[in-house]
RNA sequence: GGCCCCAUCGUCUAGCGGUUAGGACGGCAGCCUCUCACGCUGCAGACAGGAGUUCAAUUCUCCUUGGGGUCACCA
């Protein structure tokens, strides 16, 4: 237990970073950060058909957006590289030949077609039967390297989150280690690299529990000390199926960025899916690092709940720094054809008024458009019909006069003037404020009216009121 | 189907033999209030079922049921 902790996240670059992967990365990252260990990134790009450099970039971008920085890996290197499996072929070759010399690996010339035919015949219970286990010279036939299982026995390990798990060797089969060109398959590459990279604990999703058994047998055959394992509960979609790219669009981490989620909110939501710390719900990155460990990770799958994510996002937007929020909101305003610039103090001031009432940055932008447009805002038809009536016209005219006379610089003072006006007429403040709000913002819901008008500016507010007055018969 | 894992409110979870089974999201009702949101208060809402073990089971064991995962020259 005195060895320094080294963990890794090892995605295959076959698409964007998905939520399940992000949480696996997060749990590993938190474990490393909590214990002062090393978090490394390894790219498992051995599926030559599906791996792409674009996917590598997408995954790195996703991790960076979430703030999950790696101590060793692509782009920064480290003492245990290279960090792309396709650059480590010599190692796999040396290892598989060593295994073959010990009689623990053999060359198999069965073709995919042959195996598929047998599988089709026997059904889902089919296991490769070891046809080629005498390791004959393949001649010029294509072949792969297979692992020779022990005759019998049982594999067991104590998982850090699930507990004791075991399986009979008779339920396993001689699986493919690597192809003839030594490009490894998952279980082989994973074991070889985890060992040579000094990984002390493998943290991954529970879908990998079953691959742990052959991996353990490999460690044994190689004479290597296996790492610890921690298998995290799965994240399920609304349909209770494992969250997947195919079935669930929300599995895409960057989709949430596009939807206006803050990375700290997504991290907060995802860390609570399977891990808890008492009754704490809103948890900062620093607190996660302080509190996280595998003893608090549960073992039951969790269902993705966009509603709770939205709630957390609102909390984190509300807690956000105005300047940073302004920068992050920029793109959302621009998408709505409102050209604003991040260093515009008006944008920063708008954040103070807008945050806390929006569940996402995109909602925030929708709710704040009227701050940055000129002239009559786009009107909510129902609001207009209800509040911008001929009966309200005199009230609006009086309100306009108050604003023209007193200005907007002192919202509290102006509010008192409005209140007096309302009282004079035997009305509540709301009766005056609502028509003005609709006239100025186009809707019935906005930040506090007097602060809102102050930010819009006197000339613009008066212009909007005049335009409305002119529209009312 | 074989194997593996799991099982507390609709959802995320606390609970680590004795609790009025707690919190959060969501829902509902109310308060606050210039609107919305926030906030506050309250209400409804769970130990899958059956055997054991024990003075005592949500908690330990087994079975059933249910759910999920996995059975590739993908990871």
Cβ A371 vs Cβ A455: under 8 Å? yes
Tens digits of per-residue pLDDT, A446-471?
A: 999 999 999 999 999 999 999 999 98
Q: Mean pLDDT over residues A84-92, rounded?
A: 98
What is the β-pairing status of strands A144-147 and A105-108? antiparallel
Stated pTM of the model? 0.96
Q: How far is the CA of A165 from the C1' of B62 (A)?
A: 18
Tens digits of per-residue pLDDT, A390-416?
A: 999 999 999 999 999 999 999 999 999
pLDDT reading at A53 higher than 60: yes
Q: How far is the CA of A302 from the C1' of B57 (A)?
A: 26
Cβ A200 vs Cβ A3: under 8 Å? yes
Of A residues 245-264, those with CB within 7 angstroms of nucleic strand B are: none
Cβ A177 vs Cβ A132: under 8 Å? no
What is the β-pairing status of strands A154-159 and A163-168? antiparallel
Q: How far is the CA of A284 from the C1' of B12 (A)?
A: 17
Q: Mean pLDDT over residues A122-126, rounded?
A: 86
Rounded Cα–Cα distance for residues A10 and A4 (Å): 19
pLDDT reading at A84 higher than 70: yes
Within 13 Å of residue A5, how many CA atoms lie on the same side as its CB? 19
Q: Mean pLDDT over residues A149-176, rounded?
A: 95
Tens digits of per-residue pLDDT, A176-235?
A: 999 999 999 999 999 999 999 999 999 999 999 999 999 999 999 999 999 999 999 999
What is the β-pairing status of strands A302-303 and A228-232? unpaired
Record the tokens describing residue A76, joined without a space. Answer: 């920064």
**Closest by CA position to A257, among listed A246, A247, A265:** A265
A158-A24-A252 Cα angle (round to 5): 150
Q: How far is the CA of A322 from the C1' of B9 (A)?
A: 38
Of A residues 124-153, those with CB within 7 angstroms of nucleic strand B are: 124-128, 142-144
pLDDT reading at A125 higher than 90: no
Q: Mean pLDDT over residues A20-40, rounded?
A: 98
Q: Which bases of strand B sit closer than 7 A to a protein CB?
A: 1-8, 10-14, 22-26, 33-39, 67-75
Cβ A232 vs Cβ A23: under 8 Å? yes
Catalytic residue (one of A245, A323, A386, A393)? A245
ipTM score of the complex? Answer: 0.96
How much is the pLDDT for A446?
Answer: 96
Of A residues 79-118, those with CB within 7 angstroms of nucleic strand B are: 110-112, 115
Of A residues 150-209, those with CB within 7 angstroms of nucleic strand B are: 162-168, 171, 175-176, 179, 184-187, 206-209
Within 13 Å of residue A46, how many CA atoms lie on the same side as its CB? 23
How much is the pLDDT for A122?
Answer: 87
Cβ A153 vs Cβ A223: under 8 Å? no
Rounded Cα–Cα distance for residues A100 and A120 (Å): 30
Nucleotide nearest to A49 (CA to C1'): B74
Tell me the three-class secondary structure of A432-473, residue by residue: HHHHHHHHHHCCCCCCCHHHHHHHHCHHHHHHHHHHHHHHCC
Q: Is A176 left (phi over 0), alpha (psi -120 to 50) or beta?
A: beta
DSSP 3-state assignment of A235?
strand
Cβ A169 vs Cβ A155: under 8 Å? yes
Record the tokens describing residue A97, joined without a space. Answer: 């030949």
B6 C1': nearest CA residue:
A300
Tens digits of per-residue pLDDT, A332-344?
A: 999 999 888 878 8
Tens digits of per-residue pLDDT, A297-329?
A: 999 999 999 999 999 999 999 999 999 999 999
Per-residue flag: A272 CB under 7 A of strand B: yes
Of A residues 355-394, those with CB within 7 angstroms of nucleic strand B are: 356-357
DSSP 3-state assignment of A264?
helix
Task: Express as a percent the part of chain A with pLDDT over 90.
Answer: 93
Task: Tell me whether residue A245 is one of the annotated catalytic residues.
Answer: yes
Q: How far is the CA of A329 from the C1' of B75 (A)?
A: 36
B15 C1': nearest CA residue:
A278
């Amino acid at each position: 237990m005195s060895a320094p902790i080294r963990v890794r996240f090892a995605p295959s670059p076959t698409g964007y970073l998905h939520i399940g992967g992000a949480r696996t990365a997060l749990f590993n990252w938190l474990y490393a950060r909590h214990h002062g260990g090393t978090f490394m990134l390894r790219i498992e790009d051995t599926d030559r058909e599906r791996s792409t450099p674009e996917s590598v970039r997408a995954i790195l971008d996703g991790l960076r957006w979430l703030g999950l920085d790696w101590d060793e890996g692509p782009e920064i290197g480290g003492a245990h590289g290279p960090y792309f499996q396709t650059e480590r072929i010599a190692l796999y070759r040396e290892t598989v030949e060593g295994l073959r010399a010990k009689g623990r690996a053999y060359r198999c010339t069965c073709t995919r077609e042959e195996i598929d035919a047998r599988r089709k015949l026997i059904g889902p219970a089919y296991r490769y039967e070891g046809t080629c286990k005498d390791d004959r010279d393949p001649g010029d036939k294509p072949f792969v390297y297979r692992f020779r299982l022990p005759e019998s026995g049982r594999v067991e390990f104590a998982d850090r989150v699930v507990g004791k798990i075991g399986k009979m060797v008779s339920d396993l089969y001689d699986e493919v280690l690597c192809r003839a060109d030594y490009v490894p398959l998952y279980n082989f590459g994973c074991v070889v690299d985890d060992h040579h990279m000094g990984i002390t604990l493998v943290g991954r999703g529970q879908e990998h529990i079953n691959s742990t058994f052959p991996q353990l047998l490999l460690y044994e055959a190689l004479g290597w000390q296996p790492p610890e394992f921690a298998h995290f509960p799965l994240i399920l979609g609304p349909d209770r199926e494992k969250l997947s790219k195919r079935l669930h669009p929300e599995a895409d981490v960057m989709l949430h960025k596009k939807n206006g989620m803050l990375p700290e909110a997504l991290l907060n939501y995802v860390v609570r899916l399977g891990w808890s710390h008492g009754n704490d719900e809103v948890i900062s990155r620093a607190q996660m690092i302080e509190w996280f460990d595998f003893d608090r990770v549960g073992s039951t799958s969790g269902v993705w709940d966009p509603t709770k994510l939205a709630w957390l996002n609102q909390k984190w937007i509300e807690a956000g720094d105005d300047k940073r929020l302004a920068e992050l909101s920029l793109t959302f305003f621009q998408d709505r054809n409102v050209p604003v610039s991040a260093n515009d103090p008006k944008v920063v001031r708008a954040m103070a008024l807008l945050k806390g009432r929006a569940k996402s940055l995109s909602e925030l932008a929708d709710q704040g458009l009227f701050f940055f447009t000129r002239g009559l805002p786009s009107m909510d038809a129902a609001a207009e019909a209800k509040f911008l009536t001929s009966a309200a016209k005199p009230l609006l005219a009086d309100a306009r006069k108050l604003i023209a006379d007193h200005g907007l610089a002192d919202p509290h003072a102006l509010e008192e003037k409005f209140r007096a006006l309302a009282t004079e007429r035997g009305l509540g403040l709301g009766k005056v404020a609502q028509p003005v709000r609709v006239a100025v913002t186009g809707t019935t819901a906005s930040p506090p009216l007097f602060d809102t008008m102050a930010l819009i500016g006197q000339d613009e507010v008066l212009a909007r009121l005049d335009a409305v007055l002119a529209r009312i018969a």
